[in-house]
Structures are given as C-alpha cells and as structure tokens.
Amino acid sequence: MADTDGTLRLWSTTASNNKPSGSTSIGTGLDDNLREIQKVVRQYLAAAASDMASSGTVDLSTANGFFVNITGTTSITSFGTENAGIHYLLKFAGSLTLTHNATSLILPGGVNIQTQAGDLAWMISEGSGNWRCAFYQPAQGEGIRLGINGADVASAATLNLDTSTGLCVDVTGTTTITAITLGEGDTRVVRFTGALTLTHGASLVLPNAANITTVAGDYAIFRGYSGGVVRCVNYSPETGANVGAGGGQVFRDHAGRTLNFRTLTTVLSGPAGAAVSGISADTSGDTFRVVYTMTSPSAPSSPSGPGGSSLHPDSLIEMADGKFEWLCDIRIGDKVKGVNGEMAEVLGIWRNVLNERPLFYVNGVAVTAGHLFKTESGWACCSAEEYRKRYGDHYVLKTSRGYLDIHCGIVHPDEVRDLALGDTILVAGGKYVEVVTIERFETQGGDNKVPAAQEVISLYLDNAKAYYCDGYAVSTIA
C-alpha cells in the first residue's frame, strides 16, 4: 500500500514534509508510491473531474480532477477553501451568475459574469477561501464582455459602487450624493433614474468642478483613483448636451481649445424653433461657461451617442503599448495610441447597429458614412452631408469679442468634405496612403448587402482627436 498522500492539496512544497518518510520497503511499497504519485499528477493536472452542481459555494477542494464541469444555474459566490496556488479549469454547462467579490472571488473587470453553456474559467486559489479568475473564455470565443447590467443601486450620501453587481448600473432615488466608494482603477457606468444632486468636492471630482443636477436618463462614467478619490470622467445628459454647471456647457473651438470669452450678452439663435432662456456666464478662470435652459424642441441631440459615426467591431486598434486589440475587445480604461503618439484613455464606448444605414469599406476599413478620416488635406468622410446632419446643431452667440458659432462634433461641419478616390489618408508611421477603393454596402436592396443588425462601435477618448484603426487615422467621437 502507498504511503504517499492521494491528493495534490495534501502534498507539501517542502520535500521533508512529504511521504514516504524513509520506512517504505524496496519492492512493492516503492511501486505503490510511484503509482500513487503518477495518479495524483495525472488527476490534478490533466484529468476531468466528476461534475459539480452549482450552489452558493462550490467547494473545489472536493474536486477529484483538474477539469471540472459545473452544472445547474444557481449563482456562485464562493469556491470554498483550497491551498494557495492550486488551480482548476472550470466549464459551465448553463447560464448562472459568478458574483464578483474584491477579496474572495476576484473576477475580470471587477464585475459579475453571466456564464453561458460552454464558457471556460481558470480559477486559482489564493488561500484562505480567496479565489482569482485568471482567465475567462466565453464559448463564442470573443473574450469576456464587461458591459454587464447589474442590479439597481439606491442613491445615498455615500454611494457604494464597489458592491454593484455589474459594470452598468441604474442609480435610483433622489438622495444627494456627496461621495462615491469605488476601488482604484475600477470603472462603473451609471444611469440615473431621476433628479438628484451630485456634489463636487475633493473626493468626488465632477466636470468643470461644479455640482450636477441629474435628470432621468442621464449617464455618467465614474473611475476610482488612489486615496479614495472618484472622478466623473464623462457625463452625458439625456438631452445630449455636454454637461456644465447647472446644465451649462463648456465651449471649445473646433481645434479643441477652451474658449476664453468673458461676457455673454445675447443669444442670437439656436436650433430651429428653440427658445433659449436663463442665460448667465461664469467668468472664473479660463473657462467660458454658458448656463442655459432649452425649451421646445430640445437641446441638440448628441451625435456621439447611438447612431453616430462608428467602426466595424472586427477592426484592429493600435494601443498605447504598441500592441493591437480588436475594437470589440476594447474596454473602458484601456489606453489607445493617438496619431501624435499621445496615450489616450478610453472614457466611453458606444455600441449600435446599422439599422438602415449603409456601411462603407475604404481601402478595406469598414466605417459608417459620417466617420472621419484624417487626410493630407484635412478631415473627410464617405458622406459629408451625413456628418453635417449628425453634427450640425449649433448656437450663434454674441459675446464681447464677437460672434461665436457653437457646434457639436470634433470638427466643424464646414471643414469636412467627401472622401474621394485619390485622396491620401494618414497611416501609422506618419506616411499617407492613397484611397484606391470606396465600396458601399446597403442594409436593404442592391447586390452588396450587410445585415441591418450588424454591430458598429465608437470610442470616446480623453486625450486625442484621432487614433489608428486598421492602420488608418480615424476620428474619435465628439
């Protein structure tokens, strides 16, 4: 009979603590121990275990093999207690929730994962009942999706987003929020369901250093930093206007420079039929902020949201570290390389479908009609008319320094033209490549067709107007 322990978890990393301890006789005893060692190595490094049913705690310390099939649909919050360093490859037979915990069940992106049949997870024990998912591979092979909807979170003076069950959460209620709990490096996308006040301060940093009164349907992206500081890195009101104090708007020119006007005297016009009232100007610092109230029809819709200029999800994006990622796999907080070599953080990701819009292939780069390319002679897209439709809303303001045309989009519509064969587009390395093909694919009718449900994606970057998609310089969204 073998003296060697029959499970890997009972083996020690200290040789003198292992068996046999010197009393085994040469012959059958040695044979038995060698066979037992071979069994353990095979069983816990390269063998399928018996199925384990999902439950609040799936105790992997009782698994009798390395590859474990998890059956059932019960949510899992723990994998029991196992020696540090022992790991298992899990396969899920159905849809269940893996519940993220920052200590005991650490999942990619710090959010819950909704499994599907065939998904794989590599779980490593960190000891004392703590586990880390080092790898998660959905059955469809696309990499983990972090845009997971979590349970609603009630508003509170200190809003705890660390305990949210998904990357995207609804905040309910009307309680004023003065602080947010969110781990360093973690990101949450929040939708507000009603009116409440976000209070700017040292630990909750808001755009323009001003309080925000939310409206149902407003979105915000919060990111945690060291020292308990949480910063709102992007705020998108339901109306689509950019955020400012009291619903105002910080204006920049088409080159991205902050406008330094000091006095607003008259609003001459806005979108057709709009009435503008409640005008005031904040003259502090270098920012000219206009605070206004819009009535019928509404403030301009944001062209950077769903329906705006977009790219195909299978496009390759150059990252700040020089590597490449599929557009569909990029996450909020990732670092993209700008065309001037700058590192630009991804603050927002907009996903949409084509519906009735066509898809264009420019030298093989798939874009919607209004997505801009940086050419040798300026910005151009497959349809300048489409760009103007989506980014053409503007206000004409009279200031002490003259008239000011405020518009949406990173480039003024008058500076955008139709892309044509023979144009040259900036590519990685600072060179320009001639446009030799522009193909149009329709979602309905014609010989060239694409599905109306084809997904398209846009990135919102914090520090760059353009980045490289399939090697070509394209614009970020406004």
Determine whether 267 is exposed, middle or buried from the number of CB atoms within 10 Å of its CB (0-12, 13-18, 19+).
middle
Q: What are phi and psi of 423, to 5 degrees?
A: -60, 160
pLDDT at 240 over 50: no
Q: Is 431 exposed, middle or buried (0-12, 13-18, 19+ CB in 10 A)?
A: exposed
Q: Kindly tell me if the per-residue pLDDT of 341 is higher than 80.
A: yes
* pLDDT the model gives residue 367: 94
> Do 465 and 340 fall into the same domain?
yes
Verify that 392 and 342 share a domain, yes or no.
yes
**62, part of any domain:** yes
CA angle 314/191/394 to nearest 5° reads 75
Domain boundary among 185, 216, 238: 238
447-455 average pLDDT score: 78
Of 279 and 340, the one with more pLDDT: 340
What's the pLDDT score for residue 25? Answer: 59
Arithmetic mean of pLDDT over the chain: 75
> pLDDT by residue (tens digit) across 200-230?
999 999 877 888 888 888 878 888 888 899 9
Banded model confidence at residue 22, pLDDT cuts 50, 70, 90: low
Query: Distance between CA atoms of 218 and 196, rounded to whole angstroms?
Result: 11
Residue 258 lies in a domain: no
Check whether 24 has a pLDDT greater than 60: no
Report whether pLDDT(15) > 50. Answer: yes
Same domain, 104 and 131: yes
**The total number of structural domains that make up the chain:** 4
Does a structural domain hold residue 281? no
Is residue 421 domain-shared with residue 334, that is, in the same domain? yes
Residue 458 lies in a domain: yes
Higher pLDDT, 198 or 134: 198
Residues 424 and 470 occupy one common structural domain? yes
- Residue ending a domain, among 174, 208, 238, is 238
Q: Tokens 């009116």, residue? A: 195
Whose structure tokens read 């806005």?
Answer: 270
Confirm whether 443 is domain-assigned: yes
Cα Rg, the chain, nearest whole Å = 28
Is 299 inside any structural domain?
A: no
CATH number at residue 93: 2.60.120
- The predicted-structure confidence for 349-398, as pLDDT tens digits, reads as follows 878 788 888 999 999 899 999 899 999 999 999 998 888 777 654 444 44
Collect all residues with Cβ–Cβ distance below 8 Å to 112 and sequence separation of at least 6: 97, 98, 99, 100, 148, 150, 165, 166
User: What mean pLDDT do residues 23-49 have?
Assistant: 68
The answer to whether 67 and 50 are in contact (CB under 8 A) is: no
Rounded (10°) CA dihedral 24, 30, 34, 39: -70
Q: Which residues make Cβ contacts (< 8 Å) with residue 14, sequence separation at least 6?
A: none
φ, ψ of residue 135 in degrees (nearest 5): -160, 135
Least confident of 198-202, 231-235, 316-320, 343-347: 231-235
Selected residue with higher pLDDT from 98 and 272: 98
In a domain, 327, yes or no: yes
If asked whether residues 412 and 332 sit together in one domain, one would say yes
Percent of the chain with pLDDT over 70: 68
User: Same domain for 342 and 461?
Assistant: yes
Whether residue 153 sits in one domain with residue 22: no
CB–CB of 474/368 below 8 Å? no
Distance in angstroms (rounded) separating the CA atoms of residues 280 and 261? 13
Is the CB of residue 120 less than 8 Å from the CB of residue 87?
no
Residue where a domain terminates, one of 137, 168, 200: 137
For 447-461, b/e burial (b = at least 16 CB within 10 A) is eeebeeebebbbbbb
Residue-wise pLDDT tens digits, 255-292 = 343 333 333 334 433 443 333 343 344 333 333 333 33
Question: How does pLDDT run across 309-339, given as a tens digit for each residue?
Answer: 689 988 999 999 888 889 988 988 899 999 9
Q: Are residues 321 and 459 in the same domain?
A: yes
Residue 467 CA to residue 346 CA, distance in Å, equals 11
Q: What is the DSSP string of 400-449?
A: TTEEEEEESSSS-GGGEEE--TT-EEEETTTEEEE---EEEEBSSSSSSB
Amino acid at the residue 394: H
Tens of pLDDT, residue by residue over 161-204, are: 887 767 778 899 999 999 999 888 777 888 899 999 999 999 99
In a 13 Å sphere around the CA of 167, the CA atoms on its Cβ side amount to 20
Residue 137 binned pLDDT confidence (cut-offs 50, 70, 90): confident
In a domain, 158, yes or no: yes
Residue 257: CB partners within 8 Å, gap ≥ 6? none
Considering the domain architecture, whether residues 351 and 455 belong to the same structural domain is answered as: yes
Whole-angstrom distance, CA of residue 348 vs CA of residue 332: 6
One domain, residues 66 and 37? no
CB contact at 8 A, 420 and 428? no
pTM: 0.40
Distance between CA atoms of 130 and 60, rounded to whole angstroms? 12
Q: What is the CATH number for 376? A: 2.170.16.10
Go through the chain and tell me how many residues it has: 478
Q: How is residue 356 annotated by DSSP?
A: T
pLDDT band at 29 (very low <50, low <70, confident <90, very high): low
What are the strands, taking DSSP E only, across 193-339?
197-198, 204-205, 212-213, 219-224, 230-236, 249-250, 264-269, 275-282, 289-295, 316-318, 324-326, 335-337
One domain for residues 203 and 336? no
Distance set, CA 373 to CA 143, 295, 377, 461, 468 (Å): 28, 35, 11, 16, 10
Domain residues for 85?
Answer: 52-137
Whole-number Å distance between alpha carbons of 408 and 330: 25
Measured between alpha carbons, how far is 232 from 96 in angstroms, rounded to an integer? 32
Dist CA 373 CA 295 (whole Å): 35
What pLDDT, on the 0 to 100 scale, is given for residue 286?
32
pLDDT-derived band of residue 1, with 50, 70 and 90 as boundaries? low
